[in-house]
Amino acid sequence: MNVLEVNHVNKHFGDKQVLHDLSFTVPEGAIFGFVGENGAGKTTTMKLILGLDTIDAGTINLFGQPVHYGETATNQAVGYLPDVPEYYNYMTAAEYLRFCGRLTAMAPDELKTRIPEMLSLVGLPNNKHRIRGFSRGMKQRLGIAQALLNRPKLLICDEPTSALDPAGRSEFLTLLASLKTQTTIIFSTHILADVERVADRVGILHHGQLQVNDTLAAIKAQYAVNQIVLSFETEAQAKQAATLIQGKQNAQRVVVTYHDDYTETANAVLSQLLANQLVPVAMDRSEPSLEDIFLEVIA
């Protein structure tokens, strides 16, 4: 079942068409990595899904219900973590969560158990420390606790890791991955390594449309350019080898691309080289990264 269905959505600001007949779906249980260049329209899309802006044309359905601009009922089952969450800094984490729970009309009894549960889930202590003393990573984790408080069926995170240092990013991604069994997740980012680490589906937004929307494995299979990278002692050897094995030479390196079996290709390449007394000093099998694929898609 699809949690989200975006159908032929157009959105412009002034004379700038940001989304152009955008259509895509996100299935239940996915961790969907939503990527695109700066200004591609990721935040705009998320705002439309949350009913925070008007759609020029097209429709968006969440859990089979249409999203309406403004007070959309679909938001009752959505948790949202904005890119820079704002807090009342004088509150403690528990006070803040209690405040959010009251806003969404959660029962006080439920909040009593749910708040410590959420704080423990995101690794924040349930103590008297004020949010003003929190690190960015702690604030981001509190944001997730707030977004999950009301047991949403969909969690939307807008660039959740962009302001975090490597350790904070890593912790946050581990947390996101651990939520997979509880909710469907859409998160936008420019950090493709983050997508590779936790997302099981990837959408690449470019020219107002999703150019790619599939599992990471399927995307890699579709765009895969498998490579063998050989290094030689000298540039002259590399040049000779490149002619022999029809590779691409750059300084002492030669890159051979292949589509068939690795062992067969490596065997053929090495046999040819050794028959000509060309012995590489190193040989690497390299697979395309999501970054390689992203650059190919937006080229």
Ligand X SMILES: Nc1ncnc2c1ncn2[C@@H]1O[C@H](COP(=O)(O)OP(=O)(O)OP(=O)(O)O)[C@@H](O)[C@H]1O
Binding site for ligand X (CB under 6 A): 13, 16, 18, 36, 38-44
C-alpha 22/C-alpha 4 separation (Å) is 13
Among 117, 145, 150, CA closest to 131:
145
**Cβ-based nearer residue to ligand X, 51 or 101:** 51
Q: Report residue 276: phi and psi, to 5°.
A: -110, 20
**Cβ-based nearer residue to ligand X, 49 or 245:** 49
Which one-letter amino acid corresponds to residue 141?
A: R
**Cβ-based nearer residue to ligand X, 11 or 220:** 11
Do 144 and 85 touch, CB atoms closer than 8 A? no
Report the nearest approach of ligand X to the CB of residue 36 (Å).
5
C-alpha 211/C-alpha 40 separation (Å) is 12
Report the nearest approach of ligand X to the CB of residue 192 (Å).
13
**Cβ-based nearer residue to ligand X, 13 or 262:** 13
C-beta neighbour count of 295 within 10 angstroms: 12
DSSP reduced 3-state for 77: helix
Report the nearest approach of ligand X to the CB of residue 208 (Å).
9
**Cβ-based nearer residue to ligand X, 18 or 100:** 18
Do 46 and 188 touch, CB atoms closer than 8 A? yes
Report the nearest approach of ligand X to the CB of residue 38 (Å).
4
**Cβ-based nearer residue to ligand X, 39 or 66:** 39
Report the nearest approach of ligand X to the CB of residue 158 (Å).
7
Between helix 136-148 and helix 108-121 the angle, nearest 10°, is: 140
DSSP reduced 3-state for 250: strand
Beta bridge partners of 66: 61
Report the nearest approach of ligand X to the CB of residue 205 (Å).
7
Report the nearest approach of ligand X to the CB of residue 173 (Å).
18
**Cβ-based nearer residue to ligand X, 41 or 101:** 41
Do 9 and 69 touch, CB atoms closer than 8 A? no
Q: Could you give the count of Cα atoms lying within 13 Å of 12 in the half-sphere of its Cβ?
A: 8
